[in-house]
Structure 1
Amino acid sequence: MTRRDRLRIQMSHDVRAIAREIITNEGVEALTLAEIARGVGVTPAALYRHFKDGLPEIVSRVAEDVVDDLVQELQSAVDSYPADNFAMRMIAPVRALRSWAITHQPEFNLLFGTPSAAAGDAHGELTSAWVRRLAAIWGPTFVQLWTERGFPVHAEDEMDPRLRQQMLDYGADTGVDLPPGAMAVMLSCWRSLYGQIALEVFGHFAPLFSDQEPMFELLMQDLVRSMGLGDQYQPPTR
Structure 2
Amino acid sequence: MSAEVRSAARHIIAHQGVEALTLAEIARRVEVTPAALYHHFKGGLPEIVCRVAEDIVDDLVQELHSAANFPPADNFAMRLIEPVRALRNWAITHQPEFNLLFGTPSTAAGDAHKELTSAWVRRLAAVWGPVFVQLWTERRFPVLAEDDMAPRLRQQMLDYRKDTGVDLPPGAMVVMLSCWRSLYGQIALEVFGHFAPLFSDQEPMFELLMQELVHGMGLEDQYRPPTR
TM-score class, shorter-chain normalisation, is over 0.9
Which of 34, 48, 62 is matched with 2:38 structurally? 48
The equivalent residue for 1:231 is 221
Which of 103, 106, 126 is matched with 1:116 structurally? 106
CA distance in 2, matches of 1:181, 1:24: 39
CA distance in 2, matches of 1:149, 1:67: 31
Aligned residue for 1:237, secondary structure, equals coil
Aligned residues: 228
Which of 119, 129, 132 is matched with 1:129 structurally? 119
CA distance in 1, matches of 2:146, 2:140: 15
The equivalent residue for 1:154 is 144
TM-score of the superposed pair, with normalisation by structure 1? 0.95
- Once the 2 structures are TM-superposed, how far is the Cα of residue 81 of structure 1 from its aligned partner? 1.0
Aligned residue for 1:37, secondary structure, equals helix
The answer to whether 1:202 aligns with 2:186 is no
Aligned residue for 2:110, secondary structure, equals coil
Q: Which runs of 4+ in 1 moved over 6 A?
A: none
The equivalent residue for 2:180 is 190
What residue identity is the alignment partner of 1:118? Answer: A
The answer to whether 1:172 aligns with 2:165 is no
Aligned residue for 2:85, secondary structure, equals helix
The answer to whether 1:15 aligns with 2:26 is no
RMSD: 0.4
- Once the 2 structures are TM-superposed, how far is the Cα of residue 18 of structure 1 from its aligned partner? 0.2
Question: Where does structure 2 lack aligned partners over 5 or more consecutive residues?
Answer: none
Which of 39, 47, 52 is matched with 1:62 structurally? 52
The equivalent residue for 2:206 is 216
Deviations 1:38-59 (A, max 9, x none): 0000000000000001000000
The equivalent residue for 2:84 is 94
The equivalent residue for 1:74 is 64
Deviations 1:77-132 (A, max 9, x none): 00101211100000000000000000000000000000001000110000000000
Aligned residue for 1:197, secondary structure, equals helix
What residue identity is the alignment partner of 2:88? Answer: R
What residue identity is the alignment partner of 1:162? Answer: R
The equivalent residue for 2:24 is 34
What residue identity is the alignment partner of 1:208? Answer: L
CA distance in 2, matches of 1:194, 1:149: 25
The equivalent residue for 2:96 is 106
Aligned residue for 1:121, secondary structure, equals helix
The equivalent residue for 1:7 is none
Aligned residue for 2:168, secondary structure, equals coil
CA distance in 2, matches of 1:184, 1:165: 11
Identity %: 83
CA distance in 2, matches of 1:89, 1:30: 37
What residue identity is the alignment partner of 2:3? Answer: H
TM-score of the superposed pair, with normalisation by structure 2? 1.00
